Structure 1
Amino acid sequence: MNAPAQSQTRRPSSQRQPATAASGRVNWADCAKGLSIIGVCLMHVVTGAPGGTDTAWGPISSFLDPLRMPLFFLVSGLFAHRVITRNLEDLWYRRLWFLLVPYLIFTPFQAASRFYIYDELTWQNVVRAVIVGDPGLWFLYTLMVYNIAAVVLRRQPPWLAVTLSFVPALVAAMSGLMVHQGVHQALMYGPIFFIGLHYRWAFFQLSRRAFHLPTIAWALLLFAGWEAVYRGMQAFYFEGWNEAVAGQQAVLALVRTVTAAPMGVIIAVWLSRIPVVEKMIGFVGRHTLPVYVSHHATLTFFDFYVYPRLWESHPAWRHLIDDPNTRIIWGLLICIAVGGLFYGISKIPVLKWCLYPPPLRRRTATPATATV
C-alpha cells in the first residue's frame, strides 16, 4: 500500500496522515490485507475439509467471517483515493490494466477447475465465467467495477456517493437476486469500499487511537453487538434457503461489513505493533495477489485429484488424510507453498507480467503503478 496522499475530500488539518514504514507503506494496512488473505485461505481450507468446521479451526475461521472481505475492500478503498481525481482513460492506464491482466490469465483456470468438478466443463461456460465474474477470482472483477463506479460518481458529494453505493445491493436483495452467489459477491462490498474511499481520514484517525480504551470499547461493542444480531437471526429466524431468505440475510450482512470494519482496523494496528508478527503478516499483505490467484485452484486440485489417487495407491494413508485436523494442516501448508511459488514467479523477468504487467504506453506518459 502506498502512503496516502491528500485527497479531494476535505478534513480538519489536525487529522494528519499516519506514520509509514521507510518504504512509504502503511504498516497496519499491510497487516489488514495480510489478515484478510490468511482468513480467506483458512476459510477455503476449513470448509473444504470434511468435518473441518467442527474442529478448533472452525471457530477461528468463523470469527474472521465478518473481517476478511470487508477489510480487503476497505483498504482497497482507502488507497483508491486518487481515483476520484481521474477520468476513465486515466483509470484504465493507472489501475484497471493492472487488475484486468491477472484476472484474464487466471480466471479461465479457476473456472475450468470448478466446471470440471461438476462435469460442466465447456469452453462456453469458461468464457461466460470470465465475462460475468467467476466466483473464484471475483475480487479482481468486483474491484474493477468499484473503481469505475468511483470515477463515475467522483463529482458527487461524499455522503451521496456512499449512499448510492448501497442502492445496488438493496435493490438486489429486494428483488431476490441475492440468492445468486455471483450477484451477492459483486454488490455486497461496494459500500465499505466507498466509505474507505471518501472517509479515509476517519479510519486513519481510528488507527491512531487503536490503543485508546474508549475507542476499543465502542468498536468492540459495535462489532460484537451486530454479530449477536446476525448470528442470532441465522440460528433462530431463517429457515431454508430461498430468494426471500437470501435477500434478508444480505441486508444483515451489508450492515455487518460496516460494523466490523472499525474492529478490523484496530486488530490490524495491534498486529502491526508486534515485531515478528508484523513482518510475517505484513509481508503476506504486501503480496496478496500471488496467494489469491493460486491457492483456491490448487486446493481444489488436491481435493479432487491428488488425494483420491493417494487413497488408491496407499489405502492405509486414507485415515490420515481424512482426519479433519491433518487435512486442514496440509491445506494450510499447500497455501503457503503455492503462494511462495507464485511469489517467486512474480520475481522472474517476463513471467512476472502474468501477475504484475508492465505499464501501457500512451502519448502523455505518466508513472503508472498499482497494488491489489
Structure 2
Amino acid sequence: MPSPPVQSSSRMHWMDSLRGMAILLVLLFHSVAIHVGLSGSGRAPGWDEVTGFFDPYRMPMLLMLSGLLLPRALAKPLGSYVTGKGRMILWPLFLWSVIQFIVKGDIAGMLDPLTWVDGTYQWFLVVLVVCYAAAPLTRWIPAWVMALAFLAILVTVGDQVDELRRILFYGPFFFLGATLSRWLPRIQSAPAWLATIFGLVGVAVGIGSAAGWVAVARGIPVTVVLPLPGLLALLWFGARLPRLPLFESVGRQSMVYYVAHTTVLLVIADVWRAAGWGVPDVTPVILFVVVSAACAFLARNRVQFSGLFEFPRGDVAVRTGGQDPRVLPRQTASMH
C-alpha cells in the first residue's frame, strides 16, 4: 500500500534539513582531515570509518537537492537566472578561493587556471557553476540526457584532462535531481517496503565504503550508480522527518557554512601547530565544534557580512535585511 503523499507545505523544511545534515557531514569530514594532518598519523581510526560511511552521499546529496530546485530557478527570466547565480554562487566561489590561496600562501596556484577548476576546497561550487551554466539547455534536452552526456564526456576525455573529472563525475547528480523533480511526489508516496529495500541497499553501500570494499570515485565512472538507491531512499525518508530547526538553519545558510569552514579550519590548524598543542583522539570533535560555531556566527550575522557570501546588490538588500525579496523566505544563502 502506498504511503500517504507528503504535503507540499513541508517540502522546503525537509530539503533544508537534508542539506543541513550534508553540510555538517562536510564539516566533520574536513575536521577529521585536519586532525590527520596535525597528528601526522595518516589515519584516524574510528573517525575514518564514520566519514567513510557517508562518502557516497555527502556531495551527491547536495548536488541532487540543488537539481531538484532547478525547474523553479529556470522559471525566472534568463537574465535574472544568470545574474542570480553569478551573485550567489560565482562571487563566493571567487572570493573564498582567493582567501584560501592567501591563507595557504599558494600564490602560484592562484595564477594557475586549472587550480581554480580542481585545486581548491571550493570545487563543489565549480561543479554547480558548470551545471547551472548548462542547465538552460534542459528546456530542449531532457535532464537525464544531460547527466548521461556528462558521463560520456568523462569516459572519453576524463583521463586526458584530470581537472575536469570531478565536474563530469558529480555533475550528473545535479541533473539527476532535475530529472527527479517531476517524479518527487510519486517517489515520496512509494510503498514503505520499497523505500526500506532501497534504504538497506544504501546502508550496505555505506558500510562497504567505510570498510574500504567499495568507493565512489571519479576515476571509476561506473561507481556513479552506487549512491543512487540510498539517495532515492533519503528522498522518501527525508520528507517524513519531523521539524529539525538546527539542521534547517544550517541548510538555509549552507553557502555560508560551505565556503567559510575550510578557511576557518586552515587558520585553526596554523594556530594549533604554532602553539605546539598535542593532538588527542578527540581533536576532530574540538575542530568540528569550533568551526561549526564560527560558521554559525557568520550565518547569524550574515547581514553584516553579506558581501562575503553574495555580490552586493545595493539598497534593496539593505532595506530587506540582506534578503532578495524575490526569493522565498528561509532559502537565503543556500546553494541552489
Q: 1:161 aligns with which of 135, 142, 146?
A: 146
Distance 2:236 2:6 in 1: 16
- TM-score when normalising by structure 1: 0.73
Match status 1:201 vs 2:153: no
Distance 1:132 1:257 in 2: 24
Residues 184-207 of structure 1, C-alpha deviations (whole Å, 9 max, x = no match): 322222111111112213234333
Unpaired segments ≥5 residues, structure 1: 1-14, 239-245, 312-317
Query: What corresponds to 1:189 in structure 2?
Result: 170
| Residue identity (%) | 18
1:83 touches 1:151 (CA, 8 Å); kept in 2?
no
Distance 1:154 1:17 in 2: 27
1:340 and 1:226, CA in 2 relative to 1: closer, same or farther beyond 3 A?
A: closer
Q: 1:283 aligns with which of 242, 249, 254?
A: 249
1:34 touches 1:286 (CA, 8 Å); kept in 2?
yes
Distance 1:188 1:259 in 2: 17
Match status 1:343 vs 2:309: no
Q: Which amino acid aligns with 1:280?
A: L
Q: 2:53 aligns with which of 54, 59, 63?
A: 63
Distance 1:65 1:28 in 2: 21
Q: Which amino acid aligns with 1:28?
A: W
Distance 1:83 1:360 in 2: 22
Q: Which amino acid aligns with 1:307?
A: W
Aligned-pair CA distance for 1:292: 0.9
Distance 2:96 2:133 in 1: 22
Match status 1:125 vs 2:95: no
Aligned-pair CA distance for 1:230: 6.5
Match status 1:220 vs 2:215: no
1:31 touches 1:269 (CA, 8 Å); kept in 2?
no
Query: What corresponds to 2:318 in structure 1?
Result: none
Q: Which amino acid aligns with 2:229?
A: T
Q: 1:139 aligns with which of 105, 124, 130?
A: 124
Aligned-pair CA distance for 1:257: 3.7
Match status 1:19 vs 2:3: no
Larger RCO: Structure 1 or Structure 2 (Cα < 8 Å, ≥ 6 residues apart)? 2
2:56 touches 2:209 (CA, 8 Å); kept in 1?
no
Query: What corresponds to 1:296 in structure 2?
Result: 262
1:73 touches 1:193 (CA, 8 Å); kept in 2?
yes
1:168 and 1:83, CA in 2 relative to 1: closer, same or farther beyond 3 A?
A: farther
Match status 1:74 vs 2:64: yes
Spell out the pairing of 1:1-372 with structure 2 (5 A cutoff).
18-21=7-10, 26-50=12-36, 54-85=44-75, 89-114=79-104, 116=105, 121-122=106-107, 124-128=108-112, 131-132=116-117, 134-173=119-158, 175=159, 177=161, 180=162, 182-209=163-190, 212-224=191-203, 226=205, 235=213, 249-270=219-240, 272-273=241-242, 275=243, 278-303=244-269, 305-311=270-276, 318=277, 321-325=278-282, 327-348=283-304, 351-359=305-313, 368-369=326-327, 371-372=334-335
Distance 2:76 2:246 in 1: 34
Unpaired segments ≥5 residues, structure 2: 316-323
1:95 and 1:367, CA in 2 relative to 1: closer, same or farther beyond 3 A?
A: farther
Distance 2:80 2:62 in 1: 23
Distance 2:120 2:229 in 1: 25
